[in-house]
Amino acid sequence: MTNFIKLFSGIGIVSLIFMSCQDTNTKKITENDTQAPKYVFLFIGDGMGISHVKLTEAYLHSLTQDKPGFEALSFDTLPITGISTTHANNRLITGSAAAGTAISTGYKTNIGRIGKSPDKTEKYESIAYKFQDQGYKIGIVSSVSINHATPAAFYANQDSRKYYYSIGLDLIDSDFDFFGGGGFHKADSLADKNLYALAEKAGYQIYRETINPDTLNVGEKVMLVNPILGSDAEMPYAIDRAHEGGYSLADITKAGIQQLMNDQGFFMMVEGGKIDWASHENDAATIVHEMTDFDLAVQQALNFYLEHPDECLIIVTSDHETGGLSLGNASGGYDTDFAMLKKQRMSYYRSRKISIDKSFDKSMIEDIYGIDDLSDWELSMLALAKHPQDNPDYHMDYGAYHPYLKTCNKILNLRSGVGFTNWDHTAEPVPVYAIGNSQMLFSGSYDNTDIPKKIMEACGFDY
Amino acid sequence: MTNFIKLFSGIGIVSLIFMSCQDTNTKKITENDTQAPKYVFLFIGDGMGISHVKLTEAYLHSLTQDKPGFEALSFDTLPITGISTTHANNRLITGSAAAGTAISTGYKTNIGRIGKSPDKTEKYESIAYKFQDQGYKIGIVSSVSINHATPAAFYANQDSRKYYYSIGLDLIDSDFDFFGGGGFHKADSLADKNLYALAEKAGYQIYRETINPDTLNVGEKVMLVNPILGSDAEMPYAIDRAHEGGYSLADITKAGIQQLMNDQGFFMMVEGGKIDWASHENDAATIVHEMTDFDLAVQQALNFYLEHPDECLIIVTSDHETGGLSLGNASGGYDTDFAMLKKQRMSYYRSRKISIDKSFDKSMIEDIYGIDDLSDWELSMLALAKHPQDNPDYHMDYGAYHPYLKTCNKILNLRSGVGFTNWDHTAEPVPVYAIGNSQMLFSGSYDNTDIPKKIMEACGFDY
């Protein structure tokens, strides 16, 4: 009987046949739907896997409902879903530079490159410039610094994501219409070459104090910088906004839409950049707040869609998963209690910042995570974290983070039912959500390099 | 500026609007595509998350290619993908009985129930009976016992999945046309009530020895039992088939298609049941072999589709994720080497079976997992596993499994780059893949209870 298996074991052949079927089916369906969208939104949740979406939804549901379930994020109700692979040219687990380049240009490249080929000899053109060539206005928004890898991939061509100054110069040269969110990282690392001053000289109106976005001068080139920035020129975590102040990602997105609105159309990329940061820190409560904040930004586009339903294309996706996040862990087994994440009062990042001079004892987990009934096992984990060098699993347990504070955070994660496998990115696929003109192109499984090609196809641009 | 956030913070309202949009869009597209499918396949990879699919693809790719990438499983090339939640009525992390009932009947129920309401008072009707009522032939295939939770959900109504004998009687009463794969679990637990004998008496032709499936008598009711069964009447793991013998899931699926083929149509459910078992055991190499075996079974349906492209609907999904599997872990960070999984010579399950009388030393990890260069850290993990009662993280590290063998297995997982967070199921969403008539119904995010409703809609049945 094993003979007939051999007959059909040519996975490659069957796959090819179905890839052909896919093309045919997609084309047939999109014949009804060939009008190019005038307003194109691309949202990128940095580090956002499918589990990040569902953890947030389970958390939101748990705040108001006793029965298990999920309260859908707005983008998780869009009619089309796809699944995208994310690997880099030289590593299965990608980074934001290579993944950003894949999504912005359609090319695989090596870890760290921004809009350049693996060997650095070739520049890859971002779809943002293709839109600009066609008369669309362009907006780039990120909750991390505006010359960070993901936003940079849409306007810069540099050998390394670390060349913040050169990336900043590429931003200024882009002549794009709106930049919003974080500021320039290492803005003035070279004494007389302050990036803000150079941007202003190039015609950008720069807002660095809190303003009413209705006063933005439509028609000019604008850079709307969050008035509160962290040490890497990033916006504070959403969970800390009450303490830290500043805009939300939705505030910036709404201001950007106002600034970009025009009859020729616009292309806008909005990155929720700190989903990734909180995921690196395996900080589940901070993740769900970042995710909710990201969704509120997407809602600005969805509100716009309702006013322009025949002229929009909205894509929501991610550059890679971070953390190996799961809804469940070996400590809880089949049990979860995500509502417990609400007890956490601030991000791990902020707890680190404000605790520098404090002694590390049990009061910390009570203050920050609301836990006052530690089990013997939890107490033993905290005791070990005070002498982390005695822990043979140091890297597995603490990563590059503060052992004691990280253990406090981990105890809440474990109790609530969140699991993590990694302090870094993973090669998990990421979800794609779509609505609008030619939305059907985004169904199925594909690679992240296909995303800009699909956007170009939807818009009728040559690729 | 925070005012305009308040205006749009009604996530529920926006979601509702887009759910309406979704209905409209879906209907518009499926107007082209209203012919009811005559041949309906539902494949369920038990425990299969999106990461299981991608791990297998990355592994297959790594066997022949140096560059990072994924070799698509055949079902991952289907044109439509969806994302399904899986929670039970009374627990966010579901089990196979409640999830099977959701997929077979469209109703949420409590953990453990088979086709019955949470309070046990109401029977829910499986779609398999709806197909039977419409004159379709019915086939049920599973690699685990045929009265296990997932297959049972398609023909039985019992308060508990543990009522194997009663479930077996429901199978016999179903009058379905083909059962294949595992045998009856606890077939003769009640002396004079042997389920095989009862099935034979009820008209089933039962094959328990190796046969040529071409000799099956088409037209009769058939039960094709794998000639080699484990202690729970399950088929052996694919990775162990060379040692253990027996059919593959594809063999059984092909035989089932032959048996069911007729002009009135058929409905066939095929479960890859041991993806879940290997995931409970956090046994990555065994998972990728089970996944490949499952895909070969799906390919039987895809081959059939190519001969009947206008008359089929093929759905591939899962009942829940198991293991919190990720492509990456904290030990490897950004590095993976999935090709290393090829070194594993047998399942953890088989290693446990054959090692009962052996001493547990380093030779075991060399023999079974091909690792002969243990690091100090790995040696310390193995040393601890010989005295597991000294390990405060006993449950986290070993679950309910053999500490030493499980640690050997874990060392290979960690080296290859696989991560796990749980010995149990998780509440991760699962993927849905579709091709065929009304395939568009399966795009988007939805709940597992929607799957049978979509199948019914595709077939024009009342629900």
Tell me what ipTM this predicted complex has: 0.93
| B288 contacts in chain A (CB < 8 Å) | none
Give B93's contacts in chain A (Cβ within 8 Å).
327-328, 334-336, 417
**How many other C-beta atoms can be found within 10 angstroms of the C-beta atom of residue B354?**
11
B232 touches chain A (CB under 8 A): no
User: What whole-number distance in Å separates Cα of residue A283 and Cα of residue A385?
Assistant: 17
Per-residue pLDDT, A193:
75
Q: Is the pLDDT of residue B408 over 80?
A: yes
Asked if the C-beta of B12 comes within 8 angstroms of chain A's C-beta atoms, the answer is: yes
User: Would you state the structure tokens that stand for residue A235, as one six-digit string?
Assistant: 């916006």
- Can you tell me the mean pLDDT for A315-320? 98
How many C-beta atoms lie closer than 10 Å to residue B368's C-beta? 23
- Please, which pLDDT band fits residue B23 given cuts at 50, 70 and 90? very low
Residue A425 has pLDDT above 50, yes or no: yes
Cβ contacts of A304 within 8 Å, gap of 6 or more: A39, A41, A257, A312
Residue A13 has pLDDT above 60, yes or no: no
335-354 of B, contacting A, C-beta below 8 A: 335-336, 338
Determine, for residues A50 and B50 on separate chains, whether the beta-carbon distance falls below 8 Å. Answer: yes
Give mean pLDDT, residues A74-90.
Answer: 98
Name the architecture of domain B4-325+424-458.
3-Layer(aba) Sandwich (3.40)
Interval A396-410: pLDDT, tens: 999 999 999 999 999
Q: Which of A70, A224, A300, A421 to mutate to test the interface with B (most CBs of B within 10 A)?
A: A421
Stretch B409-438: mean pLDDT: 98
* Confidence class for position A23, pLDDT limits 50, 70, 90: very low
For the segment A219-266, what is each residue's pLDDT rounded down to a tens digit?
Answer: 689 999 999 999 999 999 999 999 999 999 999 999 999 999 999 999
Supply angle C-alpha B251, B255, B256, rounded to 5: 115
Q: Give the residue from B303, B397, B428, B445 with the most A CB atoms within 10 Å of its CB, the best one to mutate.
A: B445
Domain ranges within chain A, ordered by starting residue: 4-325+424-458, 345-419
Q: To probe the interface with A, which of B2, B6, B7, B11 has the most A CB atoms within 10 Å?
A: B11
- Model confidence at A4, pLDDT cuts 50, 70, 90, reads very low
pLDDT above 90 as % of chain A: 85
| B15 contacts A72? CB cut-off 8 A | yes
Q: To the nearest whole angstrom, how far is the Cα of B225 from the nearest Cα of chain A?
A: 14
3-class DSSP state of A296: helix
d(CA A135, CA A175) in angstroms, rounded, equals: 12
Beta pairing, strands B39-45 & B312-317: parallel
The predicted model scores a pTM of: 0.94
- Classify strands A80-85 and A444-447 as parallel, antiparallel or unpaired: parallel
Distance from CA of A143 to the nearest CA of B (A): 16
Whether A54 sits inside 8 A of B429 (CB atoms) is: yes
| Residue A272 near residue A249, CB atoms below 8 Å | yes
Burial A264-298 (b: 16+ CB within 10 A, else e): ebbbbbbbbbbbbbbbbbbbbbbbbbbbbbbbbbb
Percent of chain B with pLDDT over 90: 85
Which residues in chain B (127-166) have CB-CB distances under 8 A to chain A? Answer: none
The residue in chain A having the minimum alpha-carbon distance to the alpha carbon of residue B56 is: A428
Q: How confident is the model at residue B8 (pLDDT cuts 50, 70, 90)?
A: very low
CB neighbours of A317 closer than 8 A, spacing ≥ 6? A42, A43, A44, A45, A84, A103, A430, A431, A432, A433, A448, A451
In eight-state DSSP terms, residue A36 is P
A211 contacts A193 by C-beta, under 8 angstroms: no
- Look at residue A357 in the predicted model and tell me its pLDDT: 64
pLDDT at B148: 98
Show the beta-strand stretches assigned E in B114-240: 137-142, 178-181, 204-207, 221-225
A107-121, A260-274, B30-44: range with lowest mean pLDDT: B30-44
From the list A131, A48, A31, the residue with the least C-alpha distance to A84 is A48
Query: Looking at residues A290-308, what average pLDDT do you find?
Result: 98
What does the pLDDT average to over A134-160?
98
Tell me the pairing of strands B137-142 and B418-419. unpaired
Closest partner residue to A92 (CB to CB) among B324, B336, B426 is B336
Residues of A18-36 as b/e, b for ≥16 C-beta within 10 angstroms? beebbeebbeebbeebeeb
- A68 vs B contacts (CB less than 8 Å): 87-92, 427
* Element spanning B96, H or E: helix B96-105
Best mutation target, B8, B13, B18, to test chain A (most A CBs within 10 A): B18
Q: How many residues does chain A have?
A: 463
Counts of helices then strands in chain A (DSSP H, E): 18, 14
pLDDT for the residue numbered B214: 72
Residues facing residue B40 across a β-bridge:
B267, B313
Express each pLDDT in B192-221 by its tens digit.
679 999 999 999 999 999 888 777 776 689
Q: Would you state the structure tokens that stand for residue B409, as one six-digit string?
A: 């297995």
A308 membership: H or E segment, kind and range: none
B96 touches A at CB < 8 Å:
no
Nearest residue in chain B measured CA to CA from A93: B334
- Tell me, what's the pLDDT at A169? 96
Helix, strand, coil: what percent of chain B each, to 5? 45, 15, 40
Q: Is the pLDDT of residue B355 over 90?
A: no
Beta-strand (E) ranges in A260-339? 266-272, 312-317, 321-322, 326-327
Strands A137-142 and B418-419, by their bridges, are unpaired
C-alpha B220/C-alpha B131 separation (Å) is 18
Mean pLDDT across B291-306? 98
Distance CA A404, CA A387 (A): 9
pLDDT of residue A167 exceeding 90? yes
- Between positions 307 and 336 of B, the ones with CB within 8 A of A are 309, 321, 324, 326-331, 333-336
Q: Which member of A78, A248, A396 has the closest CB to residue B331?
A: A396
Contact B80, B439 (CB under 8 A): yes
Which residues of chain A are within 8 Å of residue B54 when distances are taken between CB atoms?
A: 85, 427-429
pLDDT at A191: 62
Q: Which residue has the higher pLDDT, B179 or B360?
A: B179
Answer for the pair A57, A71: CB distance below 8 angstroms, yes or no: yes
The helix (H) or strand (E) run that includes residue A43 is strand A39-45
- Give the pLDDT score at A435: 98
Question: Which residues of chain B have a CB within 8 Å of the CB of A329?
Answer: 324, 421-422
The pLDDT assigned to A19 comes to: 45
Q: How many Å apart are CA A151 and CA A236, to the nearest integer?
A: 17
Span B243-254, mean pLDDT? 95
What band does B305 get if pLDDT is binned at 50, 70 and 90?
Answer: very high
pLDDT at B28 over 60: no
Contact B247/A at CB under 8 A: yes
State residue B360's pLDDT score.
77
User: What's the confidence (pLDDT) of residue B219?
Assistant: 67
Which pLDDT band holds residue A77 (cuts at 50, 70, 90)?
A: very high
Chain B contact for A56, CB < 8 A?
no
Position B67 scores a pLDDT of 96
- Distance (Å, whole) CA B380 – CA B204: 55
Least confident range from A29-33, A208-212, B100-104, B254-258: namely A29-33
Interface membership of B377 toward A (CB under 8 Å): yes
The pLDDT of residue A356 = 64
pLDDT average, residue stretch B51-69: 97
Q: How confident is the model at residue B191 (pLDDT cuts 50, 70, 90)?
A: low
**Band of the pLDDT at B356, cuts 50, 70, 90?**
low
Total length of chain B: 463
* H-helix or E-strand spanning residue B272: strand B266-272
Average pLDDT over residues A295-309: 98
Q: Encoding tokens for residue B342?
A: 């090829």
Of the listed ranges A159-173, A345-359, B133-147, the least confidently predicted one is A345-359
Mean pLDDT in chain A?
91
Query: At residue A390, does pLDDT exceed 60?
Result: yes
State yes or no: pLDDT of A28 exceeds 50. Answer: no
Helices A403-416, A376-386: axis angle to 10 degrees equals 160
B242/A contact by beta carbon, under 8 A: no
Average pLDDT value for residue range A204-210: 93
CB contact under 8 A, B1 and A395: no
Per-residue buried b or exposed e for B27-57, using 16+ beta carbons within 10 Å of the residue's own CB:
eebbeebeebbbbbbbbbbbbbbbbbbbbbb
CA A412, CA A420: separation in Å to the nearest integer?
A: 12
Question: Roughly how many angstroms between the first and final C-alpha of chain A, as a whole number?
Answer: 48
Question: C-alpha B52: how far from its chain's center?
Answer: 11
pLDDT at A62: 98
Contact check, Cβ <8 Å, A17/B306 = yes
Chain A residues touching B395 at Cβ < 8 A: 330-331
Residue of A214, A53, A240, A110 lying closest to B429 (CA atoms): A53
Task: Indicate which of A80, A306, A336 best probes the interface with B, i.e. most B CBs within 10 Å of its own CB.
Answer: A80
Predicted local distance difference test score (pLDDT) of residue B357: 64
**Tokens in use for A354?**
């404000």
Comparing CA positions, the residue from A61, A93, A83 lying closest to residue A288 is A61
Q: What three-state secondary structure class fits A316?
A: strand
Nearest to B329 among A60, A324, A392 (CB): A324
